[in-house]
Amino acid sequence: MELIFEKSVTGRRGVRAPQSDVPVKAEIPRQYRRAKDSKLPEVSELDAVRHFTTLSQRNFSVDTNFYPLGSCTMKYNPKFTESLARLPGFMDLHPLLPQLPHGEKLTQGALEVLYEMDQILCEITGMDAFTMQPLAGAHGELTGVMMMAAYHKSKGNKKKYIIIPDSAHGTNPASAAIAGYETISIPSNDQGGMDVDKLKEKLNDEVAGLMITCPSTLGIFNSEISEISEMVHAVDGIMYCDGANLNAVLGRCRPGDLGFDVMHINTHKTFTTPHGGGGPGAGPVGVTEKLLKFLPISRVMKRKSGAFYLDYNFADSIGYVASFYGNFALLLRAYAYILMLGKEGLIETSNHAVLNANYVMQRLKKYFLLRYDRICMHEAVFSAAWQAEKGVHATDIAKFLIDQGMHPPTVYFPLTVKESIMIEPTETESKQILDQFVDVMVQAAALAERHPETFKDLPKTTPITRPDEVKAARDLDTNYFLQRSIVAAGELNPLPSKI
């Protein structure tokens, strides 16, 4: 398909600039002006609308396809939260208003949303206070680890390591490292839980804390988590909960009650703010009393009068982690969703998320290797190991699903399961859809058995077939204009091929 730049025709316009209504024509001295115009495309509004509409049709999405992408909680995104986020009272609100003198008066409605979210998330998770500032899950992790570091610093603890299970999201070790810690990886045991003996071996006074996803990335609730918390606390370590999988346990257990000191929530998972093709997200972080004074500033507080305000006066705070108060428009969507579901709705959510995952697991376990054959939480982790013996890998099965109009599950994560296929149906899908999915997966298994060769050139129904990823990295082309100038100059491979 053509790029928007290739549709550009000199003289076309997508919007008409307003006529100036001021009697001034200002000029910036030449030294400060750009020499050459940008090469942004010149297209009509219809050209643009047709281009981007056509692009949108080249995507699978929750609105159009079953999307059981494990670990991502691709549930339905209600439409009413979209219209609420576009209310002018929120959408046109300048973030510096509450920083004006007595400016809190100008943003009472927005501050109330943030304050209420804090209260609600505390009750859902058993934490004592939340910051809404982190702009994504990984950003929440970093914020959490920074508070962990501040805690140890305040106590004069000499800590060096953060312990992380080998099944963790890659963001966990990356966040720990960016905050200045070394990481120690702990293997999973044969039940998919953390190997507690290995943990005992590694625990010592230099351990700052443990980062663990609960329920785990293998879709398992580790009953030993309470005991693990005690062990970590015994060396004055901090228990960090990656709350990516909170959707499984709403009303069933709370990280705060399990011994966790700090956690993040992905609103785009559990609380259904749209994934946006890869963000924006929001990653509120909750802490218990122990870490409360280290929370980022500002914090939203409530006066006796009932008015809300931003408080910047916390001497031990880790400071600013974002420019403002978090990804407000997403937090607002999450707030609306939680209000609508209420207590029973939240419990139903986890009930059906877990029910759907277990149903798929039961129905598929004859056809795909189930690494841990036990009741699962919100997702089921299979392996394509049986199919791989015939040369059909997890990625091939993924491509087969695409041809059947279904977005594939997550493949090759967690890293601890070879050829992993991680299925998270979510609670918003019906049994009928799950049955269709199971049928397609069974077909894939049968085809792998009899005609493994047919997978190689799948998918066939999509606008493109499999891309050449090696070529993409070797002949890097990430900017249309640079590529054109390189081609014009007759250079073939202008970018360095190694780090």
Could you say which of 391, 446, 482, 491 contacts another protein (CB under 8 A)?
A: 482
- Binding mask of the shown chain, residues 442 to 461, with x at each position contacting another protein by CB under 8 A: ---------------x-x--
Residues 154-173 that bind another protein (CB under 8 A): 169-171, 173
User: Which stretch, 5-13, 230-238, 284-292, 441-449, contacts another protein (CB under 8 A)?
Assistant: 5-13
User: Which stretch, 120-128, 235-243, 285-293, 385-393, contacts another protein (CB under 8 A)?
Assistant: 120-128
Residues 6+ positions from 169 with CB-CB distance below 8 Å: 71, 213, 217, 242, 244
User: Which stretch, 198-206, 273-281, 285-293, 386-394, contacts another protein (CB under 8 A)?
Assistant: 273-281
Residues 6+ positions from 77 with CB-CB distance below 8 Å: 62, 63, 272, 273, 274
The backbone region for 153, taken as left when phi is positive above 0, alpha when psi lies in -120 to 50, beta otherwise, is alpha
Alpha-carbon dihedral of residues 414, 430, 67, 444, nearest 10 degrees? Answer: 70
Could you say which of 200, 204, 252, 446 contacts another protein (CB under 8 A)?
A: 252
Does 128 bind another protein (CB under 8 A)? Our answer is: no
* Residues paired with residue 309 on neighbouring β-strands, in sequence order: 301
Q: How far is the CB of 308 from another protein (least distance, A)?
A: 10
Measured from the CB atom, is 314 or 449 closer to another protein? 314
Measured from the CB atom, is 450 or 463 closer to another protein? 463
Q: Do residues 207 and 232 lie in contact, with contact meaning Cβ atoms separated by under 8 Å?
A: yes
Q: How far is the CB of 168 from another protein (least distance, A)?
A: 9
Does 1 bind another protein (CB under 8 A)? Our answer is: yes
Q: How far is the CB of 410 from another protein (least distance, A)?
A: 7
How far is residue 424's CA from residue 445's CA, in Å, rounded to a whole number?
A: 19
Residues 227-246 that bind another protein (CB under 8 A): none
Q: Do residues 325 and 95 lie in contact, with contact meaning Cβ atoms separated by under 8 Å?
A: yes
* Structure token pair of residue 344: 């029973």
Residue 275: phi and psi, rounded to 5, are: -80, -15
User: Which stretch, 195-203, 380-388, 444-452, 475-483, contacts another protein (CB under 8 A)?
Assistant: 475-483
Residues 6+ positions from 422 with CB-CB distance below 8 Å: 70, 71, 217, 219, 379, 380, 381, 382, 409, 410, 411, 413, 414
Does 335 bind another protein (CB under 8 A)? Our answer is: yes
Could you say which of 117, 212, 231, 249 contacts another protein (CB under 8 A)?
A: 249
Residues 95-114 that bind another protein (CB under 8 A): 95-97, 99-102, 105-110, 112-113
Measured from the CB atom, is 156 or 278 closer to another protein? 278
* Structure token pair of residue 309: 């305000």
Could you say which of 195, 236, 348, 449 contacts another protein (CB under 8 A)?
A: 348
* Structure token pair of residue 332: 């607002």
Does 218 bind another protein (CB under 8 A)? Our answer is: no
Tokens 């228990």 correspond to what residue?
239
Does 276 bind another protein (CB under 8 A)? Our answer is: yes
How far is residue 166's CA from residue 186's CA, in Å, rounded to a whole number?
A: 6
Does 351 bind another protein (CB under 8 A)? Our answer is: yes
Decide the pairing of beta strands 369-370 and 380-383: antiparallel
Q: Do residues 140 and 264 lie in contact, with contact meaning Cβ atoms separated by under 8 Å?
A: yes
Measured from the CB atom, is 415 or 446 closer to another protein? 415
Could you say which of 22, 315, 488, 492 contacts another protein (CB under 8 A)?
A: 22
Residues 362-401 that bind another protein (CB under 8 A): 362-363, 375, 377, 398-399
User: Which stretch, 15-23, 195-203, 381-389, 447-455, contacts another protein (CB under 8 A)?
Assistant: 15-23
Could you say which of 201, 205, 257, 389 contacts another protein (CB under 8 A)?
A: 257
Nearest CA to 98 out of 317, 331, 301 is that of 301
* Residues paired with residue 194 on neighbouring β-strands, in sequence order: 188
Nearest CA to 415 out of 214, 185, 224 is that of 185
* Structure token pair of residue 295: 């929370």
Could you say which of 165, 237, 243, 326 contacts another protein (CB under 8 A)?
A: 326
User: Looking at this protein, which amino acid is placed at residue 151?
Assistant: Y
Q: Do residues 262 and 290 lie in contact, with contact meaning Cβ atoms separated by under 8 Å?
A: no
Could you say which of 117, 127, 129, 146 contacts another protein (CB under 8 A)?
A: 146
- Binding mask of the shown chain, residues 304 to 323, with x at each position contacting another protein by CB under 8 A: --------------xxxxxx
* Structure token pair of residue 26: 């200002």
How far is residue 162's CA from residue 173's CA, in Å, rounded to a whole number?
A: 8
Does 32 bind another protein (CB under 8 A)? Our answer is: yes
Does 264 bind another protein (CB under 8 A)? Our answer is: no
